[in-house]
Structure 1
Amino acid sequence: MTSLPPLLPASAIPLDHPGRAFVTGRTPSFACRADQRFSYTLQIPSGYRDDGPPMPLLVLMHGTRRRTDAPLDHLTGFAEENGWAVLAPLFPAGIGDPDDLHNYKFIDYAGTRFDHVLFAILDDVAERWNIDVARFALHGFSGGGQFAHRFLFLHPSRLSAVSIGAPGRVTLPDPSVGWWRGVGDLPGRFGVDWAPELVARVPTQLVIGSDDDGSAELAIVESDGNGSTRHDRINALARALDDLGGKPFVDVVPGVAHEGLKVLPAVRAFLAGLPR
Structure 2
Amino acid sequence: MLPRVQDSPQERARALYLTGETTIIACRQDPRFSFMLYVPESAWSEPERTLDLLVSVHGTMRLQSLYRGAFSGFGRFNNCVVLAPLFPVGVRGDMEAGGYKYMIEGDIRYDEVLLAMVEQAGELINRRFEKFMLFGFSGGGHFTHRFLYLHPERLKAVSIGAPGSVTLLDETMDWWPGIRNFGEVFGRGIDFTALKDVRVHMSVGALDTEEWEITFPENSPKFIPGANSAGRNRNHRLHALRESLEARGVDVWHDTVPGVTHDMMGVFPYVESFFTGVLRDRLPAPGAR
Report the TM-score, using the length of structure 1 for normalisation.
0.90
The alignment-based identity, stated in percent, is 37
Distance 2:273 2:42 in 1: 20
Distance 1:64 1:93 in 2: 8
Among residues 23, 27, 36, which one is paired with 2:18 in the alignment?
Answer: 23
Distance 2:13 2:189 in 1: 47
Q: State whether structure 2 residue 273 is matched by structure 1 residue 269.
A: yes
Which AA in structure 2 matches 1:266?
Answer: Y
Match of 1:240 in 2: 244
User: Are 2:33 and 2:85, in contact at CA under 8 Å, matched by a contact in 1?
Assistant: yes
Q: State whether structure 2 residue 182 is matched by structure 1 residue 186.
A: yes
Q: State whether structure 2 residue 66 is matched by structure 1 residue 70.
A: yes
Match of 1:104 in 2: 100
Query: C-alpha displacement at 1:40, in angstroms?
Result: 0.3
Matches within 5 A, 1:24-173: 24-49=19-44, 51-173=47-169
User: Are 1:63 and 1:144, in contact at CA under 8 Å, matched by a contact in 2?
Assistant: yes
Which AA in structure 2 matches 1:156?
Answer: P
Deviations 1:167-190 (A, max 9, x none): 000000123422111122333221
Distance 1:176 1:198 in 2: 22
Query: C-alpha displacement at 1:70, in angstroms?
Result: 1.7
Among residues 177, 197, 200, which one is paired with 2:196 in the alignment?
Answer: 200
User: Are 1:85 and 1:131, in contact at CA under 8 Å, matched by a contact in 2?
Assistant: no
CA RMSD of aligned residues (A): 1.8
SS at match of 1:201: coil
Which AA in structure 2 matches 1:74?
Answer: A
194 and 71 in structure 1: CA distance in 2 versus 1, 3 angstrom threshold = closer
Match of 2:285 in 1: none
SS at match of 1:60: strand
User: Are 1:64 and 1:102, in contact at CA under 8 Å, matched by a contact in 2?
Assistant: yes
14 and 181 in structure 1: CA distance in 2 versus 1, 3 angstrom threshold = same
Among residues 214, 219, 224, which one is paired with 1:218 in the alignment?
Answer: 214
User: Are 2:166 and 2:238, in contact at CA under 8 Å, matched by a contact in 1?
Assistant: yes
Which region of structure 1 is more displaced relative to structure 2, 130-139 or 241-250? Answer: 130-139
SS at match of 1:239: helix
SS at match of 2:70: helix
Distance 1:251 1:39 in 2: 31
- Structure 1 segments of 4 or more deviating over 4 A? 12-15
Query: C-alpha displacement at 1:53, in angstroms?
Result: 4.5
SS at match of 1:250: strand
Distance 1:219 1:152 in 2: 24
Unmatched runs of 5 consecutive residues or more in structure 1: 1-11
Aligned residues: 264
Which AA in structure 2 matches 1:143?
Answer: G
Report the TM-score, using the length of structure 2 for normalisation.
0.86
SS at match of 1:86: strand
Q: Highest CA radius of gyration, 1 or 2?
A: 2
Query: C-alpha displacement at 1:56, in angstroms?
Result: 0.4
User: Are 1:183 and 1:194, in contact at CA under 8 Å, matched by a contact in 2?
Assistant: no
Which AA in structure 1 matches 2:273?
Answer: A
